[in-house]
Amino acid sequence: MAQQYADNALKTVQDLSPMWHEFNLTHFEDSVDSGNKEIKKAEDIVKPASTPVKTPAPSITGFLSLSGIISLLAVMYLLKRK
């Protein structure tokens, strides 16, 4: 099935030359899009599905540590001031 899609795309590309030389750019663009869709179908059949990768949860320990240190310094500053 993938080979059939690839052959259809190849035929579409081979038919582009006359359209390009006639400056028939509206149909040229449609044909290019059609060829791209055929190749995409073939690629989806042949290409293995990618394995989803689990992304790690965002870590905020650095922020918590920093805010704890700042809070501690603020309390110490207020206690020294009195």
pLDDT at 57: 72
Structure-token match 């190749």, residue found: 39
Measured CA to CA, the distance from residue 27 to residue 66 in angstroms comes to 62
**pLDDT grade for 77, boundaries at 50, 70 and 90:** confident
Q: Tens digit of pLDDT for each residue in 16-62?
A: 887 777 777 778 888 888 888 988 888 888 887 677 778 777 777 77
CB 39 within 8 Å of CB 4: no
**pLDDT grade for 66, boundaries at 50, 70 and 90:** confident
Helix-, strand-, coil-residue percentages of the chain, each rounded to 5 = 75, 0, 25
Domain boundaries, the chain: 2-46
pLDDT at 51: 73
Mean pLDDT across the stretch 1-30? 82
CB 9 within 8 Å of CB 31: no
